[in-house]
């Protein structure tokens, strides 16, 4: 069996992508930029600063702000986002995830988190999932957003396992590309992803028997 399973957070453990979208839409709107859910998909797995750059580019305003101004805008978005996180309770854990995490505990398979969100520790707390994770990669120490494999490699490193012995789970294309580049085996959640070693429609399909069968099949 795999030595560890490394999870993305937004879209795999809980659906915070919509909350990110609402906060960005408000901030972008204040700058005269319109974004929709389709555009928001391209921000999944992308760091806060890089997301802002993409939004400004989308609105044709890339050069319009200084670095200090951009930091202020990003801080404003984060304040809105953090405020919306108050609505997050253990009920917001996506279907099947808590069961999978506890099955992995029984199987003595290590668990890691690879989220580029600086809010990830607070979100795990709000969901009451912190005790299920052996290691959470620190987003503040990551230089490059997904699709760079850096954060998945940091998670494997912290778990003291080689990427080749691990499965990574992601809902975003940038995340699948990051997992594949890391040498881990990739499991994608959703229908629009390409390149995942195993693709499942929703988190409900994410069970230990299914992951175990996938691991053995691929050997």
Using CB under 6 A as the criterion, which residues of the chain lie in contact with ligand BG6 when the complex forms?
A: 9-10, 20, 43-48, 51, 78, 115-119
The nearest distance, CB 115 to Mg ion, in angstroms, is: 8
CB closer to ligand BG6 out of 46 and 155:
46
Asked about 8 being catalytic, the answer comes back as yes
Q: How far is the CB of 172 from ligand BG6 (least distance, A)?
A: 6
Q: Is-catalytic flag, 10?
A: yes
Q: What is the DSSP letter of 132?
A: G
Task: Give residues with Cβ within 8 angstroms of 106, minimum separation 6.
Answer: none
Give the one entry of Mg ion, ligand BG6, none that residue 20 binds, where binding means its C-beta sits below a cut-off of 5 to 8 angstroms depending on kind: ligand BG6
The residue nearest ligand BG6 at its CB is 117
* Binding-site partner at residue 48 among Mg ion, ligand BG6, none, CB < 5 to 8 Å by type: ligand BG6
Q: Which residues lie near Mg ion (CB under 5 A)? A: 8, 10-11, 171-172
Report how far residue 70's alpha carbon sits from residue 217's, in angstroms, rounded to the nearest whole number. 48
Residue 123 and residue 90: Cα distance in Å, rounded?
A: 10
**What is the rounded distance in angstroms from the CA atom of residue 195 to the CA atom of residue 137?**
24
**31 vs 199, beta carbon nearer Mg ion:** 199
Least Å from the CB of residue 92 to ligand BG6: 15
Least distance from ligand BG6 to the Cβ atom of residue 8, Å: 7
Cα→Cα distances 193→5, 16, 89, 125, 144, Å: 19, 19, 28, 29, 21
127 vs 208 by CB, closer to ligand BG6: 127
Residue placing its CB nearer to Mg ion in the complex, 65 or 205? 205
Q: At what angle do helices 17-30 and 67-84 cross, to 10 degrees?
A: 140
CA angle 23, 29, 31 (to 5 degrees): 110
Question: Judged by CB, which is closer to Mg ion: 8, or 197?
Answer: 8
Can you say whether the dihedral through the CA atoms of 162, 167, 170, 172 is positive or negative?
positive
The alpha carbon of residue 54 and the mean position of all alpha carbons in its chain are separated, in whole angstroms, by 18
CA 112 from centroid of its chain's CA atoms: 12
Nearest distance in Å: CB 164, ligand BG6: 25
User: Binding partner of residue 171 among Mg ion, ligand BG6, none, CB under 5 to 8 Å per kind?
Assistant: Mg ion
Mind telling me the catalytic residues?
A: 8, 10
């Amino acid at each position: 069996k795999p030595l560890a399973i490394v999870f993305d957070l937004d879209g795999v453990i809980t659906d915070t992508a919509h909350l990110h979208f609402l906060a960005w839409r408000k901030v972008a709107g204040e700058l005269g930029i319109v974004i929709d859910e389709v555009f928001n998909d391209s921000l999944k797995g992308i760091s806060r600063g890089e997301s802002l750059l993409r939004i400004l580019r989308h609105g044709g305003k890339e050069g319009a702000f200084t670095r200090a101004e951009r930091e202020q805008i990003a801080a404003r978005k984060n304040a809105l986002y953090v405020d919306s996180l108050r609505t997050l309770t253990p009920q917001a854990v996506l279907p099947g995830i808590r069961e999978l995490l506890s099955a992995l505990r029984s199987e003595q398979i290590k668990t890691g988190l690879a989220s580029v969100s600086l809010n990830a520790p607070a979100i795990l707390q709000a969901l009451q999932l912190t005790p299920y994770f052996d290691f959470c990669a620190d987003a503040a120490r990551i230089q490059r957003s997904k699709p760079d494999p850096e954060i998945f490699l940091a998670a494997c490193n912290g778990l003291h396992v080689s990427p080749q012995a691990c499965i990574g789970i992601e809902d975003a294309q940038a995340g699948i590309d990051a997992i594949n580049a890391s040498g881990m085996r990739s499991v994608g959640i959703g229908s629009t992803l390409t390149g995942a070693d195993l693709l499942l429609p929703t988190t409900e399909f994410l069970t230990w028997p299914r992951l175990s069968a996938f691991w053995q099949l691929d050997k």
